[in-house]
Structure 1
Amino acid sequence: MEINGEGPSLGSNKYKMKEESTPSTLVSNGCVDYKGRIADKQATGGWKASPFIIVNEVAERLAFFAIAVNMVAYLVREMHQSLPDAATHVTDWIGAAYVLTLLGAFIADAYLGRFLTIILFSCIYAVGMVLLTLSASIASLRPPHCTKKPCIRASSGQTAFIYCALALIALGTGGIKPCVSSFGADQFDESDPDEAHKKYAFFNWFFFAINMGALLGITLLVYIQVKFGWAWGFGVPTAIMIVSILILAAGFWKYRYQKPMGSVFTRFVQVLVVSMRNHMRGVEVGREVDLYEVSTRESDIFGARKLAHTEQYRFLDKAAVTTDPECTTKNRWRLCTVTQIEEFKSFIRILPVWASTIALAISFAQLSTFFIGQATIMDRKLGPHFEIPAGSTPVFSAINALVLVPIYEKLVVPVLRPKTGHPRGITSLQRMGIGLFVSIFAMVSAALVEKKRREHYSDSLSVFWLFPQCFLIGTAEVFTYVGQLEFFYDEATDGTRSISSAMFLSEIGIGSWLSTAIVKIIEKTSGGVRKGWLRDDLNRSRLDYFYWILTGINGVNFLVYLWVARRYKGRNGSGGSVRNESMVVGVVGNVENEDDKGEFRSMVI
């Protein structure tokens, strides 16, 4: 099979080199500086720009976790909702926040770019935080204090106000989350071996920053809420979020920017439409069939590099077969390029991996709901004068991440690298597998501890018995989350980076919604809120049964993941990611991309 160009070309001259920069200091990934020039490595990007991005993420995570761990208690105590209802409302809200990352990614890739999208949605986030603070500060926005059962329920107006605040926060999160990790990775040129190595270090430290924000949110801000009230508990993160927007904006002249490349979903639909049309016309793809590709150095997708043709999903190759020599080659609803088709193939390849890692998010959703519910009725005394706030229980998970990331980056990777020959020690698929395996034992621990607490100790068991399940969930997150950061960024193409990041973040949202669905199913099938497994009174509930169900789900999911991962073929032709970016070839000419499975053929770049 051959790749057919549309004619001779000297290549794109869109960007002109500036006299003050030599070719060796210019990035090769199409990023530009704030003046629209090709970015210079000496003046932009790298660790000169990354701290501004990381600070914004710390602030966003601090605010989000300060709300997430407190919201169940706020809805129960201040808005007078039942515990199961409050837990499902919080998981629904978390789910919406992460699923909305798909919207944020679409806007970033198609229209605004990552930087402007982060700024815009950070402002929306801040407005939601202000409204939430007002809900906690103004008495008329909450029902009267409950003095006897049954409590007076919140009015429709009061409920609508707080839900509006939470909706804006969820929308803001949806716009920030898929862009910030990709925007940070954009600051490193993957064709430069030194910067490529730093990029993967950035992913680890980015995750470290996420957990630093979470740690501050579930300790310092929860303490402020307990000590000074809900208004301060929500008001402080609001102020921090506003300051972080100013800090992010202050670094604009140091950043490298990827320009919007148009709607990736439109390109996907074009490939499907053209391949189906050609299939209906009886078009066949054989080794002697020419596939269409533009002959310029850059691809037809604005700002994106060309992609090598692969043999996988050959049905889609029909979209690049020229059926009418008279037809214009500019109409992508009639003829697609190889790069456009390979972009869609890359997206399809990651879907099984994406689907087989959702189960961890179901277990992770318990960290901010039922784990905290357990802590509320356990002995939380730390010495004679201090009681640990129930909302700070997830600190066991966050501390674990803060400890494991530096150990893994500084000690484990250097030891594994010479043994495995992989630049990151182990592949991202292997790293995700370790996390999914550990999640099984996290829920086993949760079930055993809850059974022990309910049957023998009621409210006298120390909250530190929750440490194993929180620690193991944190360990699972360290391995899986960072592995996902690496995997979904690496397997994405230039035009799908934000969408790819949003895909793995949407897992958390879908997992939260699935958690809600499982809770509702268990409530209805086990006897309802009064007689079922999950009641307002956890001492009369069978929460351990719920945890055993999650254990079974994690176990089955792990086996499915093993099957998917063993058969995965990345766009670099290997069975695992991350690619060794130092081996990327960035010159004009014929490039032969070979691998041990023969998945790739040559193409003209």
Structure 2
Amino acid sequence: MYKKFMAETHNYKNGETLVVEDDIYTKDGTVDLHNNPVVKKNTGSWKACRFILGNEFCERLAYYGMSSNLVNYFEQRLNQGTTAASNNVTNWGGTCYITPLLGAFIADAYLGRYWTIATFSSIYVLGMTWLTMTVTIKGLKPTCNGDSCNPTLTESAVFYLALYIIALGTGGIKPCVSSFGADQFDENDKLEKKRKNSFFNWFYLSINVGALLAGSVLVWLQTHKGYGWGFGVPAVAMAIAVVSFFSGTRLYRHQKPGGSPLTRIFQVIVASFRKYQVKVPADKSSLYENADEESVIQGSRKLDHTQEFGFLDKAAVVTEMDNIKDNPNPWRLCTVTQVEELKSIIRILPIWATGIMFATVYSQMSTMFVLQGNKMDASMGPHFEIPSATLSIFDTIAVIFWVPIYDRIIVPVARRYTGHDRGFTHLQRMGIGLVISIFSMLSAGTLELVRLRMVKRNNYYDAKHMPLSIFWQVPQYFFVGAAEVFTFIGQLEFFYDQAPDAMRSMCSALSLTTNALGSYVSSLLVTIVTDITTRNGRLGWLPDNLNRGHLDYYYWLLGILSLLNFAVYLWIARWYTYKKAMGTVRG
């Protein structure tokens, strides 16, 4: 255990001396960049987080500024149809949420969160720079004659390569930044712990402020000034994000990497099967655990034994073959804490799975909502049209509106009735968001039903736009934004709080994979729906000309699937057991 030094201050009142002791150093095992204990008053908390939030704001500005109008770039510049463009966007977006598994593993096992963010940010800047070159340099950008573009195979390949370099760069940032920010608050300090409860709300707010500027200013630049400006400004924003991150280096607190989490997981599995014939004793205190207050896993507290998944307890049963006086073979004997790490992951997985359907609904904003808006009246006065992709700002505005209300009003009110320090438990908060997401699909489906009836009534089948204001889409975006405040931020808190201490980046990455799988599920649903509904020569629900399709049926399908998903979530949430940590962190 690293040393803790105590400071004494003296206050004089009525001739009496009051001695107040307070720790100079943090109690959660955090260190500075040189592995020295960090002074609490000089580091961490909001003074460090302002640089992390600045980094996240600029990174999200870059990401959303580049991706918000991407579906239109695929259609207009790469000459792709509705289904192909939608699937390419969702597949790329899905990859951006799969690569965090790699970045998180590197952070938890070897580099730590700081150096992982620093390394992958550099890759990110490289990808953004390359992407800008593919839309500005002759020979790399497609040749267009008016609205008709004919990209070569090489031009398309270079563009895809730049996109997927960006996807790799996001892999080291997404799973680490929120966890790194939360690391700046000492869980053993009541005041800092309370501040951390608010951190995730304001972290998500910074994401959406960046998205707001991206969905308005940068989409306008792409539409009216060209994709060179539209992609070049995000590249500059990403460079600023890197500068912001490094500017706070001297203030940061660092959790030491605890070694490969996957190795520890497999050790428990192997040890359990090796001892499948061993009987677990009734007295669970006889299971193997080191005698010290600290866990043997660096950067982790001990975990208390839980009753579920009793088979895994066999890995911690001491037998005659185990030499516990010396260092025991971890592939034969594991500590209770190591076993409980795996149990925590298993308990999290069903909750994780229910987030996939929510992410599927969320992904519609960058695909079907945009394509639906393309067929509506986007004029704002006689001389200005709002790009359909810009409507995503209303999702962002909803988040910006609800985050302060949730943090400052809803939580204190809910706390009076529930007695919970967060107002709602993590699971309650996520469940509320799942319900709100159903209303977003009902809203989108109702609007499309009204739009198609207008098409039929006025014979607008071949009209490029129709006299129905695009602003009728605002409610569906607003519902998605409100749902995010509950479900996505709830997920950030849940996966950080319920993750084993030395697996927090991995669990944050795991939560992000719901976005990836949601994008893939969306692509799969589009493919399946298109295949089934176009049989026997029919146009199907999702033809290139949506005026002749039934996008409303697709929204109803997503609404029904979301309702079924919520029912499953309720059953899983009742079964879930929260983890119990004890002891101190091994520094």
Q: Which residue of 1 aligns with 2:463?
A: none
Q: Which residue of 2 aligns with 1:238?
A: 235
Q: Which residue of 2 aligns with 1:225?
A: 222
Does residue 1:531 correspond to 2:539, yes or no? Answer: yes
What's the CA shift string for 1:140-197, capped at 9, x where partnerless? Answer: 223321458xx56422211110111110111111210000000000000111110010
Aligned match of 1:185 in 182, 185, 188? 182
Contact 1:110 1:260 survives alignment (8 Å)? yes
Aligned-partner residue type, residue 544 of structure 1: D
Does residue 1:137 correspond to 2:145, yes or no? Answer: no
Looking at structure 1, the residues matched to 395 and 339 of structure 2 have their Cα atoms a distance apart, in angstroms, of 41
Does residue 1:211 correspond to 2:187, yes or no? Answer: no
Looking at structure 2, the residues matched to 23 and 258 of structure 1 have their Cα atoms a distance apart, in angstroms, of 22
Aligned-partner residue type, residue 349 of structure 1: R
What's the CA shift string for 1:46-69, capped at 9, x where partnerless? Answer: 001001111111111111111221
Q: Which residue of 1 aligns with 2:92?
A: 93
Does residue 1:269 correspond to 2:276, yes or no? Answer: no
Aligned-partner residue type, residue 481 of structure 2: G
Looking at structure 1, the residues matched to 239 and 28 of structure 2 have their Cα atoms a distance apart, in angstroms, of 32
Aligned-partner residue type, residue 544 of structure 2: D
Percent of aligned pairs with the same residue? 48
Does residue 1:489 correspond to 2:496, yes or no? Answer: yes
Looking at structure 2, the residues matched to 374 and 341 of structure 1 have their Cα atoms a distance apart, in angstroms, of 50
Contact 1:143 1:154 survives alignment (8 Å)? yes
Does residue 1:445 correspond to 2:443, yes or no? Answer: yes
Aligned match of 2:360 in 359, 362, 367? 362
Looking at structure 1, the residues matched to 335 and 150 of structure 2 have their Cα atoms a distance apart, in angstroms, of 59
Q: Which residue of 1 aligns with 2:418?
A: 420
SS of the residue aligned with 1:99? coil
Contact 1:45 1:188 survives alignment (8 Å)? yes
What's the CA shift string for 1:346-387, capped at 9, x where partnerless? Answer: 111111111112101111111001111111221111223322
Aligned-partner residue type, residue 549 of structure 1: L
Contact 1:285 1:318 survives alignment (8 Å)? no
Aligned-partner residue type, residue 391 of structure 1: A
Q: Which residue of 1 aligns with 2:407?
A: 409
Does residue 1:558 correspond to 2:566, yes or no? Answer: yes
Looking at structure 2, the residues matched to 417 and 284 of structure 1 have their Cα atoms a distance apart, in angstroms, of 41
Does residue 1:31 correspond to 2:39, yes or no? Answer: no
Contact 1:428 1:483 survives alignment (8 Å)? yes
Contact 1:289 1:321 survives alignment (8 Å)? no
What is the deviation of 1:283? Answer: 3.5
Looking at structure 2, the residues matched to 443 and 428 of structure 1 have their Cα atoms a distance apart, in angstroms, of 24
What's the CA shift string for 1:446-471, capped at 9, x where partnerless? Answer: 11101111220552110111011111
Looking at structure 2, the residues matched to 130 and 535 of structure 1 have their Cα atoms a distance apart, in angstroms, of 35
Which range moved further: 409-418 or 502-511?
409-418
Looking at structure 2, the residues matched to 361 and 238 of structure 1 have their Cα atoms a distance apart, in angstroms, of 26
Q: Which residue of 2 aligns with 1:603?
A: none
What is the deviation of 1:329? Answer: 3.6
SS of the residue aligned with 2:379? coil
Query: Number of matched residues?
Result: 562
Does residue 1:284 correspond to 2:283, yes or no? Answer: no
Looking at structure 2, the residues matched to 23 and 415 of structure 1 have their Cα atoms a distance apart, in angstroms, of 32
Looking at structure 2, the residues matched to 450 and 290 of structure 1 have their Cα atoms a distance apart, in angstroms, of 63
What's the CA shift string for 1:459-495, capped at 9, x where partnerless? Answer: 2110111011111111111110111111111101111
What is the deviation of 1:259? Answer: 1.1
Normalised by the length of structure 1, the TM-score is 0.90
SS of the residue aligned with 1:42? helix
Contact 1:69 1:372 survives alignment (8 Å)? no
Looking at structure 1, the residues matched to 252 and 142 of structure 2 have their Cα atoms a distance apart, in angstroms, of 47
Does residue 1:569 correspond to 2:577, yes or no? Answer: yes
Contact 1:17 1:38 survives alignment (8 Å)? no
Superposed, 1:378-417 pairs within 5 Å as: 378-417=376-415
Q: Which residue of 2 aligns with 1:579?
A: none
Q: Which residue of 2 aligns with 1:479?
A: 486
What is the deviation of 1:209? Answer: 0.6
What is the deviation of 1:32? Answer: 0.4
Contact 2:278 2:314 survives alignment (8 Å)? no
Does residue 1:50 correspond to 2:36, yes or no? Answer: no
SS of the residue aligned with 2:293? coil
Looking at structure 2, the residues matched to 35 and 58 of structure 1 have their Cα atoms a distance apart, in angstroms, of 28
Contact 1:443 1:551 survives alignment (8 Å)? yes
SS of the residue aligned with 1:460? strand
Aligned-partner residue type, residue 320 of structure 1: A
After superposition, the CA RMSD in angstroms is: 2.0
Looking at structure 2, the residues matched to 19 and 36 of structure 1 have their Cα atoms a distance apart, in angstroms, of 22
What is the deviation of 1:24? Answer: 1.2
Aligned-partner residue type, residue 405 of structure 1: V
Aligned match of 1:520 in 513, 523, 527? 527
SS of the residue aligned with 1:357? helix
Aligned match of 1:544 in 542, 545, 552? 552
Normalised by the length of structure 2, the TM-score is 0.92
Looking at structure 1, the residues matched to 443 and 534 of structure 2 have their Cα atoms a distance apart, in angstroms, of 26
Q: Which residue of 2 aligns with 1:293?
A: 289
Aligned match of 1:197 in 194, 197, 203? 194
Runs of 4+, deviation exceeding 4 Å: 14-23, 584-588
List gaps (5 residues or longer) in structure 2: 10-20, 461-465
Superposed, 1:345-356 pairs within 5 Å as: 345-356=343-354
